[in-house]
Amino acid sequence: MTSVLDDFKAIRAVTFDAGGTLLAPHPSVGEVYAEVLGSFDLERDPTSLENAFRVAFATVSKNPAVLDPEEREKDFWRQVVFQTVRDDPLPESLFPGVFAAMWDAFSHGDRWRVFDGSHAILRSLRDRGYRVGVLSNWDRRLRSVLEETGLADLVDTVIISSDVSIEKPDTGIFRAAEIRIGHPAEECLHIGDSRHHDLAGARAAGWAGLLVRNDDGPVDLPTIGSLADLATLLPGPIIESIS
């Protein structure tokens, strides 16, 4: 674990990003896409789909003209799927059904793998007196995913971008989280896997921030190698003074 620059003595609330921090698609996006396409008698290579998905996800932008935040999320994912299969396009008549099946697939816990230690660290932090939340750029499918993976019962609140119409790194979503979690910025720590959305967003909002790496990629400060490392960084149990 690399050195951590933030002072965590004042921290009373901890929020976690969801995808890439607590959980990841299972067995992979490419595998799920290939399985769904196979149910429509369309054979595609999972590895090729995975590679195409990564490009599409990095290049497709959300359409601000779609005003409803939940519909904007759905439109975004529709475009991602379309771009993912662009080089081997689907029959036009099948695309709506394929997309609906893919959208539904990722609303269920069996399409997600919870990273080792996720359940344990959430449970530990709450037992030690911290307020714990999930703070994610996601749509409302996240609630069923958290329920079905056993994570929902281990957090005090869930803040989803499509619910509050603001996305990380905008400080507005962190302000919304402070209200939900009941602590001011200086008492909040956010943990995620994105330097831009999670670390930079948290710091701009006056929060402490940490990157977690669940892979073997390069690391920057302040970074932890796994969620288990968090247990030794935060003081506890918290004993609030009685005035």
**Tokens at residue 194, please?**
């994105």
Instruction: Please enumerate in sequence order all residues whose Cβ is within 8 A of that of 108, keeping only pairs 6 or more positions apart, or say none.
Output: 144, 145, 148
Q: What average pLDDT score do residues 232-242 get?
A: 65
* Topology adopted by domain 13-22+115-232: Rossmann fold (3.40.50)
Residues 141-170 pLDDT 10s? 999 999 999 999 999 999 999 999 999 999
CATH 1.10.150.720 spans which residues of the chain? 26-110
89-96 long-range contacts, CB within 8 A, separation 24+: 90/37, 90/40, 90/42, 94/40, 94/42
Whole-number pLDDT of residue 231: 83
Strand extents, DSSP E, the chain: 13-16, 23-25, 112-114, 131-136, 157-160, 188-192, 208-212, 223-224
User: What pLDDT sits at residue 187?
Assistant: 97
What pTM, to 2 d.p., does this model score? 0.91
Mean pLDDT, all residues of the chain:
91
**Does domain 26-110 fall into CATH 1.10.150.720?**
yes
Percent of the chain with pLDDT over 90: 84
pLDDT at 3: 39
Whether the per-residue pLDDT at 4 is higher than 50: the answer is no
Q: Decide if 42 contacts 101 (C-beta within 8 A).
A: no
- 13 has pLDDT over 50: yes
SS3 197: helix
- Residue position matching structure tokens 């959208």: 103
* Residue 170 identity: D
Residues of the chain with CATH 3.40.50.1000: 13-22+115-232
From the list 141, 145, 194, 150, the residue with the least C-alpha distance to 17 is 194
Query: What's the pLDDT tens digit per position in 49-97?
Result: 999 999 999 999 999 999 999 999 999 999 999 999 999 999 999 999 9
Q: How confident is the model at residue 214 (pLDDT cuts 50, 70, 90)?
A: low
